[in-house]
């Protein structure tokens, strides 16, 4: 095959892969403003080879695809969709379960009381919130902060999967039972049984730990979450300078 034919075959192959990637995310149209390289990297999941600005463009495309979403019943009572925020090139991604009251009002993840606990944890790990990426399993607040239901999780999960595919963090920290259960695909999972042990999610190590809201109710367990955080730092090769496991968050 001559070089022109090879180039056309490559382009066709890229287009096919792009179509399946965006179809899997539930996109009705390709985000046509994106350059070919951006589409290819996102669909192949090799996000670490992309610049943060390329990932930012992809995340914006994903956010606009979500639009004013009414795909599940959580849309009925929510005020604002809470997409997620942080550095698109982050090494660490924190994933909670669902927005709460403050998050629903402000449109930002983890900004209420539990958010303050998470922010302290991030700071203790040597980062600012802007250095990491924070998202939830579902993007809309469940009424009276109930747990998100399976149909809601299943409908919304393609958006989280899209965020993970674009960001491709070095490590994911899943916060609480529902986040770990969704990422492992094991709805019966107990957080006390799995926390502190890495599992794999599509080639990305995931560290399950307690949800910050639980730590507010059981502050005696904060040191366990700190222990989990130290394992995350060890995995990504960051020096914290913190020696004690019993530090407060
Ligand atoms: S939770 Fe997800 S799927 Fe459901 S309405 Fe909100 S954005 Fe759409």
231 compared with 249, residue with greater pLDDT: 231
Q: How confident is the model at residue 165 (pLDDT cuts 50, 70, 90)?
A: very high
Which of 35-44, 51-60, 237-246 bottoms out in mean pLDDT, i.e. has the lowest? 35-44
Query: Which of 26, 81, 147 should be mutated for ligand 1, with most atoms under 8 A from CB?
Result: 81
From ligand 1's centre to the CA of 75, what distance in Å?
6
From ligand 1's centre to the CA of 40, what distance in Å?
26
Nearest CA to ligand 1 atom 5: 75
pTM of the model: 0.82
Q: What is the pLDDT of residue 8?
A: 45
For 68-236, the fitting CATH number among 1.10.10.10, 3.40.470.10, 3.40.50.720, 3.60.21.10 is 3.40.470.10
Q: Ligand 1: residues within 6 Å at CB? A: 66, 69-72, 74-75, 81, 138-140, 152, 155-156
Q: What is the pLDDT of residue 51?
A: 92
Atom from ligand 1 closest to the CA of residue 66: 7
From ligand 1's centre to the CA of 203, what distance in Å?
26
Q: What is the pLDDT of residue 22?
A: 58
Is pLDDT of 152 > 50?
A: yes
Percent of the chain with pLDDT over 70: 77
The residue extents of the domains of the chain are 68-236
pLDDT in tens, 185-232: 999 999 999 999 999 999 999 999 999 999 999 999 999 999 999 999
C-alpha atoms less than 13 angstroms from C-alpha of 221 in its C-beta half-sphere = 16
Nearest CA to ligand 1 atom 2: 156
Measured between alpha carbons, how far is residue 207 from residues 42, 92, 120 in Å? 23, 10, 18
What mean pLDDT is predicted for residues 67-74? 98
pLDDT in tens, 102-127: 999 999 999 999 999 999 999 999 99
Q: How many CB atoms lie within 10 A of CB 90?
A: 21
What is the signed CA dihedral for 101, 107, 108, 112, rounded to 10 degrees? Answer: -20
Q: For the chain, what is the mean pLDDT?
A: 85
Q: What is the pLDDT of residue 242?
A: 58
Residue 96 forms beta bridges with which residues?
136
From ligand 1's centre to the CA of 125, what distance in Å?
31
Is the CB of residue 93 less than 8 Å from the CB of residue 169? yes
Q: What is the pLDDT of residue 240?
A: 61
Nearest CA to ligand 1 atom 7: 139
Q: How confident is the model at residue 31 (pLDDT cuts 50, 70, 90)?
A: very low
**Phi, psi for residue 85 in degrees, rounded to 5:** -155, 165
Where do the H-state alpha helices sit in 77-198? 101-106, 113-124, 150-167, 177-184, 191-194
From ligand 1's centre to the CA of 90, what distance in Å?
24
Q: What is the pLDDT of residue 91?
A: 96
- Whole-number Å distance between alpha carbons of 233 and 236: 5
């Amino acid at each position: 095959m001559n070089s022109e034919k090879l180039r056309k075959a490559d382009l066709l192959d890229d287009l096919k892969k792009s179509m399946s990637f965006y179809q899997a995310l539930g996109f009705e149209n390709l985000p046509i403003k994106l350059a070919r390289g951006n589409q290819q990297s996102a669909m192949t999941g090799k996000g670490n080879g992309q610049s943060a600005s390329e990932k930012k463009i992809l995340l914006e495309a994903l956010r606009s695809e979500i639009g004013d979403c009414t795909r599940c019943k959580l849309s009925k009572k929510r005020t604002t969709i809470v997409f997620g925020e942080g550095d698109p090139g982050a090494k660490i991604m924190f994933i909670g379960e669902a927005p709460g009251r403050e998050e629903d009002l402000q449109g930002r993840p983890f900004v209420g009381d539990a958010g303050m606990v998470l922010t302290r944890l991030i700071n203790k790990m040597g980062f600012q919130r802007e250095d990491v990426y924070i998202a939830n399993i579902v993007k809309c607040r469940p009424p009276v902060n109930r747990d998100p239901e399976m149909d809601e999780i299943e409908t919304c999960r393609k958006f989280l999967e899209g965020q993970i595919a674009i960001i491709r963090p070095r490590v994911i920290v899943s916060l609480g039972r529902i986040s770990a259960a969704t990422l492992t695909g094991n709805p019966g999972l107990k957080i006390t049984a799995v926390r502190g042990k890495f599992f794999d999610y599509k080639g990305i190590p995931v560290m399950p730990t307690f949800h910050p809201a639980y730590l507010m109710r059981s502050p005696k367990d904060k040191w366990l979450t700190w222990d989990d955080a130290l394992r995350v730092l060890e995995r990504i090769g960051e020096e914290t300078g913190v020696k004690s496991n019993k530090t407060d968050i």
